[in-house]
Structure 1
Amino acid sequence: MQTDGRMRYTRNNYINYERSGHVHIFDRLKSMLLGLNRPQSTATAESADKTSITATTTDQTPSINQTEALILVHHLDADGHELQAPEMIAGYVGDEIHLPDVNIAGYHLVHIDGLTRWFTAPQARLILTYERQAGQPIWAYAYDIDQRQLIGLPTMMRGPLGTPYQVAAPTVAGFKLLRSVGDVTGEYTTSSKTVLFFYRNQNWRQTDLSTGFVQIRHRTRVFPYPGATTTNYLTALQQGSVYKTYLRVQLNAGDTWYNIGDNQWIPEAQVQLTNGDQLLPKLPLSYRTRDQRQVQQTGIVSFVPGKQVHTYIEPYGRYLTTVADGEKVILTERLVDDNRVVWYQVKNRGYLPGRYLTGLEPHGVGL
């Protein structure tokens, strides 16, 4: 038997194929098939994934005879392209049709054309049309890199699996884009993705994380943001008082400001930097060193994957720098305080609590 001039099949091939158990009842269409006894009728059913499936049929109930029948089943996408090789269903005119159970990864069935409940002719064609499933979303976030906070609502993009996407950086009033982290281009997949866009206040030229101290030179007011000329803060800072700073900002105009708390800024002209030990808070006696000795070891930083942990100029002192999780470091000193907290000195990089180190080698040294 010749079909479409492309492939030759025999009745025995497909009768054996059907009887061998490789043809399955398309269970989710049973309820739809019950309504296909009338000519020119249309039935709809809802699949397990809540997708509406439509089917068109033009058959009447045939009389059963021994005429061999063959149906060619095509699986097409919305553009008419074959998604897999056509399948054949064999039987006799008047027999009930058993549709193959087809599951094409990344697609769901949306339309059936030429569907009948019985074999009605020696040769027929059935066309199943599928729609591309939607990929997982791409999320985009806008962050103020200095204040470490969101500066806009997150946005989400979705599209069909396998299709390309491109995330554009949102425009945020009063801010300039610095950089992005994450794939701004790619394809929709079965996994969601995140893109982070980092911004800086457009009036800020340069910033520096500052964890030092400043001493007030002259009585000064506190302002709500760098460059402000008026303030609602009633309390003024007194001459000689000392404050911890968290951020230093140089504005485009050239002046520099220090942050001493949430929305609390003072101009550099009113302060002087100080690193004097007399200005640092005195450590409780329980934090004094009990056991201090030199070591020659290596260790691996164990923090949060992909993150960095601060080191300190001295135990419980000011931040010095950072080391990355998983980084192998050289250790030159070990000490213990009265609370039995262990500290290690990382070569040329300050002190780090022992709880952030693992894989100490040589093993047992300095324990």
Structure 2
Amino acid sequence: MAFFDWLRRLIEPKPRREAVSQPVVSRRHPAVPPVQPPIEPVKPSQSVEPPVVLTTPIITLPPTPQAAAPAPTATLVVRLVDEHDRALQPALVITGPLNTPVNYRFPDIPGYALSRIHGFTQDFISEYGLTTVIYRRLLGKPIVGYLVDFDSGRLLELPQIHRGKLGLTYTLTPPTVPGYHIFQAQGPQRGTFTSQAKRVVYFYRRDSWETVQRVHQYVFLQADHAVYDEPKGRDYGYQFPADSLWRLFMIITLTDGSVWYNLGGNQWLSAEETRRRDHRLAQPALPQKRLWHPEPYARLGTVDYVPGAAVSIYTEPYGETAGQLAHGETLDIRGRIVDDQHLTWYQIGPTAYINARYARLVPTETL
């Protein structure tokens, strides 16, 4: 039996004994270097696993932000002026960081257009900058002047065009036309150029035409009459026969006292050896005398004609000649008449009248 117990103990594995911790007794020994076990060479057939190394992860913290230094401030002054360096609006003052874009736009100024720029910049390139924006004033609409023969409606010259800048004032004077004098004007001769076009019409009358009457009458010819293209003008070479009746449109009195009849268009004949009547079926007779009623007008004046010459006066407006007065002679005006042609006549005697165009009034003192 003893043999079999020994054999069983040899075959069966021995039970593992748990280690029992023993107290460690510290004893002082001389410092002896530890004995390193011999390193056996690794045979090629053997595989060696790399040792496991436990590492601690390294966490990189972001740097603590520091306050950025403020960028230097730049100032740009923008002046808005006209072509004469006069300010149109208060200057623009624009600020911002140096070397950064300048964000602004040039303003629209009514009546002006941008012309040029001095010192233009897109960035703040220096701490202080100056830009000058120059505007030019726009042109206003033109003022067209027409020179017209008042009696014939004929255009005497090509229209005159006057231009100027918006808002600027203008003053027009009637142009000189040889052989004519200004009779009246229509339209604004003074004002400012605006965005609206304007028209001025100057009406002229021939220098040799003293008075003009537009009538609806007839004339009976007592003799053959030559026909002219204008009073004292060119003879057409044919005649209107005696004892014929013709329609009248105008009666012209020249400065020499002669009277001429207009028969329509450019057909004129002398009033000598004729009789006028109001109806073509009536007997030839002179028209009844017109009654004039001058309004009271007490003023002093002088004859304003041509130095060294005399002007005719009449028994009534468009009437017969009553004599002549020299240039510069004193006038005692007692009445005034404005006829249907808008012509003014001054009464200087019971039966004496002068055209107001040849009279200069003495200024009256204002109280």
Provide the TM-score with structure 2 as the length reference: 0.55
Equivalent position SS for 1:214: strand
Once the two structures are superposed, the pairs formed by residues 68-217 of structure 1 within 5 Å of their partners are 68-217=73-222
* % same residue: 26
Deviation at 1:135, TM superposition (A): 1.7
- Displacement of 1:277 in angstroms is 5.7
Find the aligned partners of 1:104 and 1:216 in 2 and give their Cα distance. Answer: 72
Contact persistence 2:218–2:279 (CA under 8 A): no
Alignment match of 2:230 (pick from 225, 228, 241): 225
Tell me which residue corresponds to 1:294.
Answer: none
Deviations 1:132-171 (A, max 9, x none): 1112212211111111221111111112222221212111
> For 2:115 and 2:279, how far apart are their aligned partners in 1?
75
Q: Displacement of 1:255 after TM fit? A: 1.2
C-alpha distance in 1 between matches for 2:171 and 2:86: 26
Q: Distance in 2 between matches of 1:277 and 1:138?
A: 47
Residues of 2 paired with 1:81 and 1:275: CA distance?
69
**2-structure distance, mates of 1:90, 1:100:** 14
RMSD: 2.2
**Counterparts of residues 342-361 of structure 1 (less than 5 Å):** none
Larger gyration radius, structure 1 or structure 2: 2
Pick one of 232, 257, 266 that aligns with 1:263.
Answer: 266
Name the CA shift for 1:192/1:93 in 2 (closer, same or farther; >3 Å): same
Displacement over 6 Å in runs of 4+: none
The 1-side partners of 2:198 and 2:134 are apart by: 29
Higher relative helix content: 1
Q: Distance in 1 between matches of 2:189 and 2:279?
A: 47
Distance change (3 Å), C-alpha of 1:239 and 1:140: same
- The answer to whether structure 1 residue 254 and structure 2 residue 257 are counterparts is yes
Q: Which runs of 5+ in 2 are unaligned?
A: 1-69, 284-338, 341-367
- The code of the aligned residue for 1:243 comes to W
Alignment match, 1:241: 244
Corresponding residue number in structure 2 for 1:5: none
Q: Describe the superposition over 1:260-315 as per-residue Cα deviations: whole angstroms up to 9, x where unpaired.
A: 122110111132112236269xxxxxxxxxxxxxxxxxxxxxxxxxxxxxxxxxxx
Aligned pairs (5 A) from 1:7-26: none
What SS does the corresponding residue of 2:281 show, helix, strand or coil? helix
Counterparts of 1:158 and 1:125, CA distance in 2: 35
In the alignment, the residues of structure 2 paired with residue 279 and residue 177 of structure 1 have an alpha-carbon distance, to the nearest angstrom, of 39
Amino acid at match of 1:276: H
Q: Is the 8 A contact 1:140 1:167 kept in 2?
A: no
- Alpha-carbon shift at residue 222 of structure 1 (Å): 1.1
Following the alignment from structure 2 to structure 1, what is the Cα–Cα distance between the partners of residues 79 and 191?
Answer: 31
How far does the alpha carbon of each residue in 1:234-269 deviate from its partner, in whole angstroms, 9 at most, with x for none? 3x2122222111111001111111111221101111
CA distance, structure 1, for counterparts of residue 114 and residue 106 of structure 2: 11
2:360 — aligned with what? none
TM, length-normalised to structure 1: 0.55
Q: Deviations over 1:96-132 (max 9, x none)?
A: 2223241001111112111112121232221111111
Q: Which has the higher contact order (CA 8 A, sep 6+)?
A: 1
- Secondary structure of the corresponding residue to residue 272 of structure 2: helix
